[in-house]
């Protein structure tokens, strides 16, 4: 299974996927694409010998033209799956439809709670006892696509948003490779806005 990974920043989830691809060989990362030239994820890709490129959103007049350039760059590598790993751009419906059923994202909350930004702070402010992360298929609704796997992280009394974020990230690095492996094994599908693993609805 050929996987393209989109990043905007540090790329720790990309690193977890690179490591898992090396260990299990059920999938390989065929391309890393960033919208930011300075993203550290590009360095991680280069170190792993993965083709890495930049499609800088600032070079495009609008979201539509950026997304079509991004699609062209991704499709050059013929991926079976496209994985958003800290990719901080909202994607157009055209983009999402183009990769429907083969586009994954990881979000740092127990969705449907806390769609959008500042999830750790919001969980603390709400006094939640549990927080976590969710891998989901991407649909046109932002952070609203069907969930695949969640990791639960208990909130501790002295937690700050930074401490909580660190513990959530440790879990992200486990569940993202897991979901990609399921997809690569042909066990995971999106069926009419629901996720199915081994033929069972999730
Ligand atoms: C992660 O917290 C992920 O949940 C969110 O963006 C962050 C990316 O971190 N979507 P990294 O670039 O993988 O380190």
Distance CA(195)–CA(172), nearest Å, equals 19
Cβ pair 125, 147 in contact under 8 A: no
The residue whose CA has the least distance to atom 12 of ligand 1 is 11
Asked if the model's pLDDT at residue 25 lies above 90, the reply is no
Binding-site residues for (6R)-10-formyltetrahydrofolate:
63, 88-91, 105
> pLDDT tens digits, residue range 79-89?
999 999 999 99
Going by CA atoms, what residue is nearest to atom 10 of ligand 1?
86
Backbone angles phi, psi at 144, to 5 degrees: -115, 5
Q: How far is the CA of 187 from the centre of ligand 1 (A)?
A: 25
d(CA 12, CA 201): 29
Distance CA(3)–CA(82), nearest Å, equals: 6
For the chain, which residues make up each domain, given as ranges?
2-110+135-152+172-189
Instruction: List, in sequence order, every beta strand (DSSP E) within 36-170.
Output: 52-54, 81-84, 103-107, 130-137, 147-154
Residue list, ligand 1 pocket, CB within 6 Å: 7, 9-13, 85-86, 106-108, 133, 169, 172
ipTM of the complex: 0.96
Report pLDDT digits (tens) over 117-164. 999 999 999 999 999 999 999 999 999 999 999 999 999 999 999 999
**Residue 108 alpha carbon to ligand 1 centre in Å:** 7
Catalytic residues, which ones?
A: 107
Structure tokens at 154: 């208990």
* Overall pTM surpassing 0.95 (yes/no): yes
Residue pair 133/108 in contact by the 8 Å Cβ criterion: yes
For the domain made up of 2-110+135-152+172-189, give the CATH fold.
Answer: Rossmann fold (3.40.50)
């Amino acid at each position: 299974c050929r996987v393209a990974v989109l990043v905007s920043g540090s790329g720790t989830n990309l690193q977890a996927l690179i490591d898992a691809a090396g260990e299990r060989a059920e999938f390989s990362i065929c391309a890393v694409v960033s919208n930011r030239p300075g993203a550290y994820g590009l360095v991680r890709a280069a170190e792993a010998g993965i083709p890495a490129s930049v499609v800088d959103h600032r070079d495009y007049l609008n979201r539509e033209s950026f997304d079509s350039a991004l699609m062209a760059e991704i499709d050059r590598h013929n991926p079976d799956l496209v994985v958003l790993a800290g990719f901080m751009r909202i994607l157009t419906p055209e983009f999402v439809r183009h990769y429907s059923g083969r586009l994954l994202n990881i979000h740092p909350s127990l969705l449907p709670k806390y769609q959008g930004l500042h999830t750790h702070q919001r969980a603390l402010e709400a006094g939640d006892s549990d927080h976590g992360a969710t891998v989901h298929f991407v649909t046109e609704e932002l952070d609203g696509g069907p969930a695949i796997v969640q990791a639960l992280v208990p909130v501790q009394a002295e937690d700050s948003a930074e401490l909580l974020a660190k513990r959530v990230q440790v879990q992200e690095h486990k569940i993202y490779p897991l979901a990609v492996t399921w997809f690569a094994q042909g066990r995971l599908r999106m069926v009419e806005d629901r996720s199915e693993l081994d033929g069972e609805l999730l």
